[in-house]
Amino acid sequence: MKALIVDDEQNARDSLRILLEAFCPEVTVVGEASDVPEAVKAIIKWKPDVVLLDIEMPGYSGLQLLDFFDQPNFKIIFTTAYDSYAIKAFELSAVAYLLKPVDGEKLATAIHKSQELLDMDTYKQQLETLQANYASGGDTPQRLAIPVGHGYQFVAPKEVLLLKAEGAYCTVVLTDLRHILVSKKLGAMHELLDHPRLFRCGRSYVVNLDFVEKFEKSDGGSITMQGGEQITLTKELRQAFLERLSGKVGG
């Protein structure tokens, strides 16, 4: 397996080379680059299987490397110093990343996963999703890659009708009433989507307020969603729900 290391700092490149030798004996480092233009030339020359790519470098963002390749035939493992919105962009897009300083075992895991078979058209969509989310600068996510079977379903948060808790999993229900079971808990999925029109209805549901069709006042109240799903509110949540529904409170 051939790898290319791209980072503007020599110490970071040296560290990754040492870690690859120690934890990934199946990997041969075919070259290094200190910026995006050098990386483009190295990729064309060496045709690596995987590129270890720093996302923040002087002159170019690592993501701009993708602008030079219409159909990448290599996998990318991004490296980054702690950056909350960059990390969220990676997670929304299901794209591999490593936090600096890089841990050897996590590097080995990422290298192993990069070898898994994945349709390159799907992988390109993941990278495009990453670009869109990263460009938003930490604002409302633009797209979400949801794992389904051997690939991903790409959706915009505004297409989410509701989330429903299923133990350690949750079901994402889209506005076209498709159901996608996701291996994340309800709270984690809600936090990841981070959409201002999503409202947590107790332990079991998060709803998109734009698709509430009916509200009944009896007891705490109940909601009927587009598609017919009925959800009971507690008295404690009723006022917060009505305020959010009317747009008085955002977030």
- Note the CATH number of domain 156-246: 2.40.50.1020
The CA distance from 163 to 145, in Å, is 15
The CA distance from 156 to 124, in Å, is 17
The CA distance from 129 to 70, in Å, is 15
Q: What is the mean pLDDT of residues 238-250?
A: 75
Higher per-residue pLDDT: 31 or 217: 31
pLDDT > 90: percent of the chain: 53
Q: Identify the pLDDT of residue 249.
A: 43
Give 85's contacts (C-beta < 8 A, 6+ positions apart).
134, 137, 138
Residue 232 has pLDDT above 50, yes or no: yes
Q: Identify the pLDDT of residue 163.
A: 96
Q: What is the mean pLDDT of residues 189-209?
A: 90
pTM for the predicted model, two decimal places:
0.75
Residue 28 has pLDDT above 80, yes or no: yes
- In order of 117, 128, 135, 136, 183, the CA distances from 95 in angstroms are 14, 10, 15, 17, 16
Higher per-residue pLDDT: 250 or 27: 27
Domain positions in the chain? 2-135, 156-246
Question: Does 2-135 match 156-246 in CATH topology?
Answer: no
Instruction: Provide the CB-side half-sphere exposure for 204 (13 A, CA).
Output: 7
The CA distance from 13 to 18, in Å, is 9
The CA distance from 163 to 203, in Å, is 11
Residue type, 33: A
Higher per-residue pLDDT: 212 or 59: 212
CB 51, CB 74: distance < 8 Å: yes
Q: What is the mean pLDDT of residues 97-115?
A: 94
CB 215, CB 245: distance < 8 Å: yes
Residue 2 parent element (H or E): strand 2-6
Q: What is the mean pLDDT of residues 17-34?
A: 97
What value does the mean pLDDT of the chain take? 89
| Structure tokens that stand for 39 in this block | 């990386």
What 3-state class would DSSP assign to 159? helix
pLDDT > 70: percent of the chain: 92
First to last CA, the chain: 45
The CA distance from 106 to 121, in Å, is 26
- Comparing C-alpha atoms, which of 151, 150, 176 is closest to residue 161? 176
Residue 135 has pLDDT above 90, yes or no: no
When pLDDT is cut at 50, 70 and 90, the band that residue 250 belongs to is very low
Q: What is the mean pLDDT of residues 219-235?
A: 87
Instruction: Provide the CB-side half-sphere exposure for 22 (13 A, CA).
Output: 12
The CA distance from 7 to 97, in Å, is 14
The domain made up of 2-135 is a member of CATH 3.30.365.10: no
